[in-house]
Structure 1
Amino acid sequence: MNFTRLVFPGITMIAVTYGLARYSFGLLLPNISKSFIMSDTLSGIISSLFYLAFCFTIIYSTVITTNKGPRPMIMLAGGFAVSGMLMISASLNEWMLAAGVLLAGGSTGLVSPPFGSAIALWIKAPLQGKANTWINSGTSLGIVATGLGAILLPLHWRYTYLLYALIALIVLWWNYRIIPKADDSLKFQRGILSAKGVEGAKSIIIGAILMGISSACFWTFSRSFIESSGEFNSLVLSLFWVTIGLFGITSGLGGTVIERIGLQSSYTLFAVMMGGASFLLTWASESTPMILGAAALFGTSNLFICGLLIVWGIRVFESNASLGIGLPFIMLSFGQVIGSILAGSMIEWVGYAVTFAVFGAISIVGSFLRTA
């Protein structure tokens, strides 16, 4: 299959599931919290449901993708995204909101393994790493879209999610038209560990959990943190989010960076950068250049690390691409479940600044792990 024919609809589906259905929640959370009068702890618990749903659906998606090919799970992922965002838009209370979050969060788990498999099936081997990282960069495009929407279309959060659901429906139709059916000759062998074996798997599991814990605080509460300073108008708050997405687009170059400096150096560098973003926000949460700098650091490093986990996982589980993507992403989301709940509780206990410093330190500690 032509590279762009698969990658372009893949980018938009990732933009919808990760950017609109999942990560946009952090941008809209302050207004949602005001509508339902939610505490930071409750906000953290509900936010953790995105990642909890991911943990379950990615296991299901990995199994079904291995048996039936990528198409069914990509279609189901789009359906979950549409349904979840419609439910969030119509939510009457915290329970209905939580149910919508579960559906929307589940879409991300459903979509990751099949696109990794689709690339392994239909893209030539020399281009597979670049295809994976470019499709993964769709998250950034979704985040940029949510930020620009907040600037250009300052809708109530309910109407915003309704608009997102309509966009998701269009993207689902496009993928339905493009993604081919897999016949029996295109199915994968079931998950066998590569020659790197258990030791390689152990390292990626620990690294993914630590990166998940650290990143959850920034994704969920960074906008609330800078808004709490009272120094910024809605334009700056939205630009903060747009900056995360714009710099996250550079994660599409992840395959090239890994080829140039190696997997180990890439992982260490960007894990330190991600921790630095939280520290920068801690020390300068009232300075516009500094908060935008923190957004740039986080967007570049976090989205790059997500792409790097794909490359790393496939190298460890080289006989099964969907397993290689599924396992590290399950661990990443498991860490984000822990991180969201802990961050919400810590903010109520010790405040934003100390909480962000602690979670930044977790990423820097995790940077010392060996990738091979």
Structure 2
Amino acid sequence: MQHCRTKNALNSAARLTIAGFLATAIGFGPARVGLGLFMPQFADEFGLSVADGGHIASIAFSAFMVALPITAIFVFRLGPRTPVILACLMACAGSVLVATASNATMLTAGIVIAGSSAGLCWTPFNDAARHSLTEDRRNTALSIIATGTATGVVIAGVLSLFTGMGAIHWRHAWWAFAGIALLAAIVAWFGTPKLEQRQSMKGFALSHFYGRKAWPLHTLALVFGATNAVFITFAAKRIADTGGLPSLVSDGASAVVFISYGILGLVGVAAGRLVDRFGLSGVLRVIFAAAALSMVLIAFAPNDWITVIAASAFHGAA
């Protein structure tokens, strides 16, 4: 009997981990960074300026912000499965819109719908892990789920590289993203627990988020969010506009940026241990220093291979 319970617990942990890995890979991978990754191609196809790219990114990140509190309500009322499946389906629908876009308006709609999926797909897994996994399996599962982000960015970067080399059209890459998102939705249906019993929202008050102690958190989040939005939207465009990287097709710069970004993003798995050893304040100082350095390097040396890879690595790790 004990053996059966252990086996069931392992199977449950594995299903949840795989579902979370795929959902975050698509939601925080191509769905969230796809605009910056394919910005050179979008600019050529639809005549977008840097300002246009900024407007689209602003709308997409606003949708992401709106999705976050909605997700909290979904999780409380419906359990984690519903928002995760919805996130994957939105990533799928948004990717299809981008792949079939005939004008900038249709492209914007697709980017915004796909981008908002990231706001729906991460938080539910914290809740699911807390309710359905033992503590020893919970941390491992959440660490693996978190690596989905970096993996998704790397896969998107590789497809972008193939696009820049002329091996595939950028629309085919977005059809691939749609297929991965649909697969993630199916896996989420079987892997994410429904948690039939509704949770009480008693004690859940917005006033808790506006106290004096919360403002440093809000400030840090705002600064890093703005910095990250600028980097993932415009870093590749900055490189392409200044002549690209030597011996590389002009549209290949975005692939270099995001592959480096994604690979070093795997460092995030160790964030908890680093905080335990050096303290939250110390780790935050290093994170912001790395993010700032990445912006400076891209600004002043956008055509040097080592500098671009270092800048992308610093930002991905941050």
TM-score strictly above 0.5: yes
Q: 1:21 to 1:185 in 2, by over 3 A?
A: closer
**Shift of the alpha carbon at 1:123?**
2.8
**Distance in structure 1 (CA, Å) of the matches to 2:269 and 2:126:** 15
Query: Given the alignment, which residue of 112, 118, 125 partners 2:122?
Result: 112
Give the fraction of aligned pairs with identical amino acids, expressed as a percent: 25
Match of 1:137, SS? helix
Q: Secondary structure at the match of 1:163?
A: helix
Letter in 1 for 2:284: Y
**Does residue 1:265 correspond to 2:282, yes or no?**
yes
Contact 1:135/1:252 (<8 A) preserved: no
Question: What do residues 74-108 of structure 1 show as CA deviations (whole Å, max 9, x unaligned)?
Answer: 11111111101101111111111111122112211
Q: Distance in 2 between matches of 1:195 and 1:167?
A: 38
Corresponding position: 1:244 with 2:261: yes
RMSD: 2.3
**Residue 307 of structure 2 aligns with which residue?**
290
Instruction: Pick the aligned partner of 2:155 from 145, 157, 182.
Output: 145
Give the corresponding residue for 2:105.
95
Q: Which residue matches 2:293?
A: 276
Q: TM-score, normalised to structure 1's length? A: 0.75
**How do residues 48-197 of structure 1 correspond to structure 2 at under 5 angstroms?**
48-125=58-135, 128=138, 131-152=141-162, 154-184=167-197, 190-191=203-204
Q: Give 1:6's aligned residue.
A: 16
CA contact (8 A) 2:38 2:160 kept: no
Q: Cα deviation per residue 1:103-149 (whole Å; 9 max; x = unaligned)?
A: 11221111122122112212334564554444233111001001112
Deviations 1:326-358 (A, max 9, x none): xxxxxxxxxxxxxxxxxxxxxxxxxxxxxxxxx
- Give the superposition deviation at 1:185: 7.0
Aligned AA (1:138):
G
User: C-alpha deviations, 1:30-89, integer Å up to 9, x for none?
Assistant: 111111101111111012222111111212111121122111111111111110110111
Question: C-alpha distance in 2, partners of 1:213/1:133?
Answer: 25
Asked if the contact 1:49–1:105 (Cα under 8 Å) also holds between the matched residues in 2, the reply is no
CA contact (8 A) 1:82 1:165 kept: yes
| Structure 1: runs of 5 or more not aligned | 302-372
- Kindly tell me: are residues 236 and 158 of structure 1, through their superposed partners in 2, closer, same or farther at Cα, counting changes over 3 Å? closer
Give 1:197 deviation, angstroms: 8.5
1:266-295 deviations in whole A, cap 9, x for unaligned? 111111111111112223222111111111
**Alignment check: 8 A CA contact 2:15 2:192 kept:** no
Provide closer, same or farther for how the CA distance between residues 109 and 190 of structure 1 changes in structure 2, counting only shifts above 3 A: farther
Contact 1:143 1:244 in 2 (8 A): yes
Asked if the contact 1:130–1:256 (Cα under 8 Å) also holds between the matched residues in 2, the reply is no
Aligned to 1:40: 50
Contact 2:160 2:170 in 1 (8 A): no
C-alpha separation between the residues in 1 aligned to 2:111 and 2:254?
Answer: 23
TM-score w.r.t. the length of structure 2 is 0.87
Give yes or no for contact 1:246–1:299 (8 Å, CA) kept in 2. Answer: yes
For structure 2, which runs of at least 5 residues remain unmatched after alignment?
1-8
Give me the whole-angstrom Cα distance separating, in 1, the residues matched to 2:197 and 2:229.
39
